[in-house]
Structure 1
Amino acid sequence: MRWEDYRQSDNVEDRRGGGGEYAGLPGGRGGIGIGTMVVLGLLGWALGIDPRILIGGAEMIGGIGGRSAPTQEQRKSAGPPQDEMGKFISAVLAQNEDIWTKVLPQQANRKYVPPKLVLFSGVDRSGCGTAQSAMGPFYCPNDQRVYLDLSFFQEMQRKLGGGGDFAYAYVIGHEIGHHIQNLLGILPKVNELRQRLSERESNLLSVRVELQADCFAGVWAYNLQAMDRIEAGDIDEAMRTASAIGDDKLQQQGRGVVVPDSFTHGSSAQRTRWFNTGFKSGSMQSCDTFRTNQL
């Protein structure tokens, strides 16, 4: 993925402190010391279980500790990232901004208002509650921010077999996809509807939300390719990652059994198919996961 010569976004809030704890791209030497928390978060993220519940139980049993939330003074000092991985994240965010600023008005007649992306380490506060590294990346519609602890990418590579710069960019593109849904008014409607549904129906609706975000990430990738910024093997990286974080694969790894009614993000096949739908068409209209019977 060609990102080194791309502009840096002004919408990254680096709350990690110390000039960037993860100074290189994932895959180098050294552990990060939060393996159990991240695995619990990955499972919760994929299975639709609030990771804070899993982590809270683990804390009571095993005494897992987290870092304290940043002070107000530390928040004031948050600035743009200066390390290699931070700059990579900033460049990917800038690519999303440039593409969606053009595509969203053209295809949906909506102005693109870019979200902030918060880099944090360990624990932070969000408009949706406590942000912990074990929760994995997430989008908070209340404050229109994406929250990301870079340790997720290291664990994604080590535990799930998904890695590479375009794979990481896909994860960010997926979260930006949720921001697109929020701008279109989809997320508020879905959240309201889920309160009236059974657990099984609510899970199915969640799957449709997540698959649409995958498809929107594909639309972003389509436009990135048109800008000649995708290299050979990049899409394969994204496909491996989408497959690695499919509900069926994670359930098989974690439980030894697959329960489709409990899916909240979609199977490996569904996630790769919907990313490819957006990537091949470049059309947001092709991403309507709510009006199809065949996911």
Structure 2
Amino acid sequence: MRLRCLFLACAILAWLPARPAHADDPAGFSSDVNVAIRVTEHYWSTKIVGFRPISRIIPYTADGEVLCGLQPIPAQNAAYCPIGDFIAYDAHWSEQVYDEMGDAFVFYLLGHEYGHGIQQRLGIQYTFTIYQELQADCFAGAMIGDSIRTGDLTLETGDLQELKAGLFSVGDPPDEPWFQEGAHGSPAQRTASFFGGYDQGLTACDLPTSAPPA
């Protein structure tokens, strides 16, 4: 089984009811992580009969501190591990990005990785990693978009442009082949997959098996 990593280097938008962290509010990040987990689990519980939440959400602070089987999870990262059914994230890195960019980071971060857990539960396994990653982006978009439509999250003015800019910045470099192991998708592909889910819900998240569009 391949380790599904996000490799996200910047955050994107601001959400309510989550609040940005400040020096006088040290619990802001951990509180928003808990909110993101609750919102994500509530969403999937309404979509999957007999839904089983991911077993553990594990923060770590050092490179290789957490293993997925025999594979160490690197620093400045987040990953879903099917061996043990857990999500692990670099707490120091995640909180730093959260403080600098805004509290929405945890919703996309956990939404994407939770998407890999949903793939595991539904038995979805594409031949190429790019499809796994683009579908996880779509699942995250559907979770966030549908949660806004049901009132579980509130969108602020300007958030969508910030979100698009953030997604565009985390795509694969132009010279990376789409079929390469570990490919996540170009900036345009990741943005399109996320906003397909955001606008249309889960109906947008069934991906083809041929080469993805440029």
CA contact (8 A) 1:121 1:133 kept: no
CA deviation after TM superposition for structure 1 residue 291, in Å: 4.1
Instruction: Percent identity, please.
Output: 25
Larger radius of gyration: 1
Counterpart Cα distance in 1 of 2:166 and 2:177: 20
Counterpart Cα distance in 2 of 1:292 and 1:220: 26
Moved segments of 4+, more than 2 Å:
123-133, 150-158, 233-241, 258-263, 290-295
With the length of structure 2 as denominator, give the TM-score of the two structures: 0.77
Q: Quick check: 1:244 aligned with 2:169?
A: yes
For 1:1-295, list aligned pairs within 5 A.
1-4=15-18, 25=21, 83-105=27-49, 111-115=50-54, 116-122=56-62, 123-129=64-70, 131-134=72-75, 136-153=77-94, 163-187=101-125, 190=126, 205-228=128-151, 229-232=153-156, 233-248=158-173, 258-261=175-178, 262=180, 264-282=183-201, 284-291=202-209, 293-295=211-213
Amino acid at match of 2:191: T
Amino acid at match of 2:131: R
Amino acid at match of 2:148: Q
Gaps of 5+ in 2: 1-14
CA contact (8 A) 1:211 1:265 kept: yes
- Describe the shift of the 1:137–1:101 C-alpha distance in structure 2 as closer, same or farther (beyond 3 A): same
Counterpart Cα distance in 1 of 2:84 and 2:206: 25
Q: Secondary structure at the match of 2:75?
A: helix
Counterpart Cα distance in 2 of 1:135 and 1:128: 19
Amino acid at match of 1:242: L
Which structure carries more relative contact order (alpha carbon 8 Å, separation 6+)? 2
Amino acid at match of 1:246: G
Counterpart Cα distance in 2 of 1:157 and 1:88: 10
CA contact (8 A) 1:137 1:152 kept: no
With the length of structure 1 as denominator, give the TM-score of the two structures: 0.57
Gaps of 5+ in 1: 6-23, 29-81, 106-110, 194-204, 252-257
CA deviation after TM superposition for structure 1 residue 85, in Å: 0.9
- Of Structure 1 and Structure 2, which has the larger fraction of its residues in helix? 1
Instruction: Calculate the aligned-residue CA RMSD, in Å.
Output: 2.8
Q: Secondary structure at the match of 2:88?
A: strand
Counterpart Cα distance in 2 of 1:238 and 1:131: 30
Counterpart Cα distance in 1 of 2:65 and 2:114: 20
CA deviation after TM superposition for structure 1 residue 99, in Å: 0.7
Counterpart Cα distance in 1 of 2:97 and 2:171: 13
